[in-house]
Amino acid sequence: MIPIARPFARIAERLRGVGLRPTRQRLSLGRILFAKGDRHVTAEMLHDEAQADGVRVSLATVYNTLNQFTAAGLLREVAVDTGRSYFDTNTSRHHHFYDHRGRELTDIPAEGLRVQGLPRPPEGLAIDRIDVVVRLKKA
Amino acid sequence: MIPIARPFARIAERLRGVGLRPTRQRLSLGRILFAKGDRHVTAEMLHDEAQADGVRVSLATVYNTLNQFTAAGLLREVAVDTGRSYFDTNTSRHHHFYDHRGRELTDIPAEGLRVQGLPRPPEGLAIDRIDVVVRLKKA
DNA sequence: TCAATAGTTTAGAACAGTTATAAACAAGAA
DNA sequence: TTCTTGTTTATAACTGTTCTAAACTATTGA
Ligand SMILES: [Mn+2]
Ligand SMILES: [Mn+2]
Ligand SMILES: [Zn+2]
Ligand SMILES: [Zn+2]
């Protein structure tokens, strides 16, 4: 009943809920990812942060975990730059500012943003998702 | 005066115009890229197509050429999938449908499409470009 | 409580896409 | 032509990611 004292309890439930065993590695990575609000991380960023936190986990496991969390709907992947995958802890519909210099993503809430005048998709295909990326430059 | 008979003439001019020597490789790649309307190609696609056309050119040169053409404003890069760069012969403002299965890009004209309600960019930064990617799935 | 089982982690190899290196080569100027 | 500088190329190197297979661990149910 004191969630602060059991930081893994909720995460363990979420993992079991999607059929993943709550291992030490997944719990630690889950805590890093979900403890402090919305985040956009690469595998290497998460691995470095885990190391800094004293969590021993291999890079392969970081990749496995990010991909499993994404498949389970706990994360979503954002494609803004080729050669580097970003994983977003905010899985709700929203968009992004992208600062290509600083390689930094910032959320744009879906509410308030409207994309109007889209043509019909090609025959046999339907819209899965609309991603708006606002690329930034120095003012 | 007969452009069909001198398919390289216009391309040679464009290359000189951006400070690139009109070499056999650049002229051939330029012809493949710009001869048949708007295209979205990867380096490997362009290399394969060149080979099929009997154009002898290394993959390194294809990469160099795509990057040089992009820097010169003759092409633009589209980031829809990590791990694979697409180059777009349509450098005007427009957007894309992306079929993730078939790895195929289709243009969405900028005219008619409106993105409204964007928040102000973070302090010190300005909007460089807005990219709308409409991801498709089977209907 | 303790196997047995199936899922998980890991080091390291492998892989894909791309860029760097440096030597051979070709375009353009003189 | 010659000279200079830009270009091409094979190949090595590099980055991000996935694969492999052996060691390990969470879970189950006897
Ligand atoms: Mn980039
Ligand atoms: Mn993909
Ligand atoms: Zn986000
Ligand atoms: Zn396009």
pLDDT bracket for residue B7 (50, 70, 90): low
Which pLDDT does position A137 carry in this prediction? 94
Band of pLDDT at residue A102, cut at 50, 70 and 90: confident
Q: How much of chain B exceeds pLDDT 90, in percent?
A: 88
Q: What is the rounded distance in angstroms from the CA atom of residue B33 to the CA atom of residue B105?
A: 15
Instruction: List residues, Cβ < 7 Å, touching strand D.
Output: A 16, 21-24, 42-44, 59-60, 63, 67, 83-85; B 20-21, 23-26, 56-61, 64-65, 82-83
Q: Compare all CA atoms of chain A with the CA of B129 and give the residue at the minimum distance.
A: A135
* Model confidence pLDDT, tens digit, residues B50-59: 999 999 999 9
Mean pLDDT of A33-51: 95
Exposed, middle or buried: residue A16 (CB in 10 Å: 0-12, 13-18, 19+)?
exposed
Q: For residue B3, which amino acid is it?
A: P
Distance CA A1, CA B50 (A): 66
Higher pLDDT: B14 or B5? It is B14
pLDDT of residue A37: 85
Q: Are residues B69 and B46 in contact, defined by beta-carbon separation less than 8 angstroms?
A: no
pLDDT for res B2: 40
With a CB cutoff of 8 Å and minimum separation 6, the contacts of B52 are none
Q: Do B127 and A135 touch (CB under 8 A)?
A: yes
pLDDT at B4: 43
pLDDT at position B36, please? 85
Mean pLDDT of A68-83: 96
Q: Look at strands A94-99 and A125-138 and give their pairing.
A: parallel
> Above pLDDT 70, what percent of chain A?
94
pLDDT on residue A121: 96
Residue A36: pLDDT band by 50, 70, 90 thresholds?
confident
Domains of chain A: 6-86 (1.10.10.10), 93-136 (no CATH)
Q: How far is B11 from chain A (nearest CA, A)?
A: 28
Q: Average pLDDT in the B91-112 region?
A: 95
Q: How far away, in angstroms, is A120 Cα from ligand 3 center?
A: 26
Q: What is the pLDDT of residue B86?
A: 98
CB pairs A-B closer than 8 Å: 131
Chosen for mutation from A86, A106, A132 (greatest number of chain B CBs closer than 10 Å) is A132
Amino acid at A120: R
**Considering only CB atoms, which residues of chain B are within 8 Å of chain A?**
77, 79-85, 97, 99-100, 106, 108-109, 112-119, 121-122, 124-139
pLDDT value at position B60? 98
Q: Tokens at residue A63, please?
A: 């990749």
* B51 alpha carbon – ligand 4 mean position (Å): 24
CB-based burial, A69-90: b 16+ in 10 Å, e otherwise: bbeeebbbebbbbbeebbbbbb
Q: How far is the CA of B85 from the centre of ligand 2 (A)?
A: 12
Q: Which stretches of A40-89 are assigned E, i.e. beta strand?
A: 40-41, 76-78, 86-88
pLDDT tens-digit map of B34-72: 998 899 999 999 999 999 999 999 999 999 999 999 999
Mean pLDDT of chain A: 93
**pLDDT above 90 coverage of chain A, percent:** 86
- The set of residues, in sequence order, having a beta carbon less than 8 Å from that of A112 and lying 6+ positions away, is B117, B119
Does pLDDT of A2 surpass 80?
Answer: no
C1’ D6 / CA B16, Å: 13
Phi, psi of B44 (to 5 degrees): -65, -40
Give this prediction's pTM: 0.91
Measured N-to-C along each axis, helices B9-17 and B24-35 cross at an angle, to the nearest 10 degrees, of 110
Residue contact B80–A79, C-beta within 8 A = yes
Q: What pLDDT does residue B39 have?
A: 96
